[in-house]
């Protein structure tokens, strides 16, 4: 008969079924098991609506919420104990009954340029693949003469389309490529000053049910990543950005200070506005909102 003390508690971790999502969830699972040796993490995968519809851009099919709907339902039903998300894929408003319990250490947040295998330059006769207006606006500023075209599918699918000659290059997140072991495909890193990343890019968010004991999950929380993510989300929410909006913010912490840089797209004038703010890291969310308010005022 097994010793009761030797029986580990199981935590069921809900994840999208894509390879990248599974890898990201496994990162969190390892962190949980390392922080809590008496716990075993078990992976539960599911396909979301956003994973199934690949012929349209996100703003055409309902936004980022399509990547979390099924996971939210499983969490509410008690089919899983926590869910793991790329935080940049979560909608701006988090349901009160499914709070964010922890934030992972941030992987490289930068955007990168990926060229076809064997190529060393961007072919201006072909479009750069990106379904993000944020990336499209900034790549056109950085590389005059380029055109862009939407590209959907997981990272591997996008790379296949690139290598088949459908695109001259792709703009992707460094974090995803590195987690997939595809860092060698990166041709150029864009600094945050050159291309402000998507809010929360590189951060994983872990959700639980309201009222559940989240003390175990909180053990793996990275406080710097949390403050940066909350600042960036506060900006995006205050600026009124939706799924199709290019508006974004990126925060960095140095000591007890936080610096937030932001992008605001003036659709009427078709101009890209950038600004930044610095202050105590403890005021991260307040500063994010303050920067958004300032950008809105400057627009008038």
Among 64, 158, 227, 264, the active-site one is: 158
Catalytic residue among 40, 76, 119, 152: 152
Q: Are 176 and 202 in contact (CB under 8 A)?
A: no
Using an 8 Å Cβ cutoff, are 221 and 100 in contact? no
Lookup: tokens for 295: 């950008």
Location of structure tokens 């089919």: 79
Q: Helix, strand, or coil here: 37?
A: coil
Q: Is 89 a catalytic residue?
A: yes
**Given the residues 64, 110, 135, 209, the one annotated as active site:** 135
**CB under 8 A, 24+ apart: contacts of 90-96:** 90/64, 90/200, 90/205, 91/63, 91/64, 91/65, 92/233, 92/236, 92/237, 92/241, 93/237, 94/207, 96/210
Query: Of these residues, 89, 108, 111, 247, which one is catalytic?
Result: 89
Is 123 designated active site? no
- Tokens 């947040």 belong to 109
Structure tokens at 186: 């990166």
- Give the span between the Cα atoms of 41 and 77, in whole angstroms: 18
Is 243 marked active-site?
Answer: yes
* Set 16, 64, 88, 209: catalytic member: 88
**Token pair listed for 40:** 């075993």
List 134, 179, 227, 264, catalytic entry: 134
The Cα–Cα gap between 6 and 17 comes to 31
Pick from 43, 35, 37: nearest CA to 12 = 43
- The torsion angles phi and psi of 231, rounded to 5 degrees, stand at -65, -45
Q: Does the annotation count 12 as an active-site position?
A: no
Candidate list 119, 178, 188, 243, residue with the active-site label: 243
Q: Which of 148, 152, 121 is nearest to 135 (CA)?
A: 148
What amino acid positions are annotated as catalytic residues? 88-89, 134-135, 152, 158, 243
């Amino acid at each position: 008969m097994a010793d009761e003390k030797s029986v580990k508690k199981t935590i069921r971790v809900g994840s999208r079924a894509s390879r990248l999502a599974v890898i990201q969830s496994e990162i969190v699972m390892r962190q949980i098991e390392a922080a809590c040796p008496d716990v075993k993490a078990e992976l539960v995968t599911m396909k979301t609506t956003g994973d199934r519809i690949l012929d349209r851009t996100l703003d055409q099919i309902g936004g980022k919420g399509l990547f979390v709907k099924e996971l939210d339902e499983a969490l509410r039903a008690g089919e899983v104990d926590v869910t793991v998300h790329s935080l940049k894929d979560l909608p701006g408003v988090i349901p009160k009954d499914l709070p964010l319990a922890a934030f992972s250490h941030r992987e490289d947040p930068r955007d990168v340029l990926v060229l076809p295998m064997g190529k060393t330059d961007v072919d201006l006769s072909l479009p750069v693949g990106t379904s993000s207006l944020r990336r499209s606006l900034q790549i056109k500023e950085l590389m005059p003469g380029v055109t862009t075209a939407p590209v959907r599918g997981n990272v591997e699918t996008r790379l296949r389309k690139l290598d088949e000659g459908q695109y001259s290059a792709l703009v992707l997140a460094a974090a995803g490529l590195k987690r997939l072991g595809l860092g060698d495909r990166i041709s150029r890193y864009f600094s945050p000053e050159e291309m402000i990343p998507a809010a929360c890019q590189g951060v994983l968010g872990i959700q639980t049910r309201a009222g559940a004991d989240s003390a175990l999950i909180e053990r793996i929380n990275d406080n710097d990543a949390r403050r940066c993510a909350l600042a960036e989300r506060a900006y995006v929410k205050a600026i009124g950005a939706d799924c199709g909006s290019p508006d974004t913010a990126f925060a960095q912490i140095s000591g007890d200070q936080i610096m937030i840089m932001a992008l605001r797209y003036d659709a009427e004038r078709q101009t890209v506005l950038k600004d930044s703010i610095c202050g105590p890291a403890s005021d991260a969310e307040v500063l994010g909102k303050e920067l958004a308010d300032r950008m809105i005022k400057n627009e008038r």
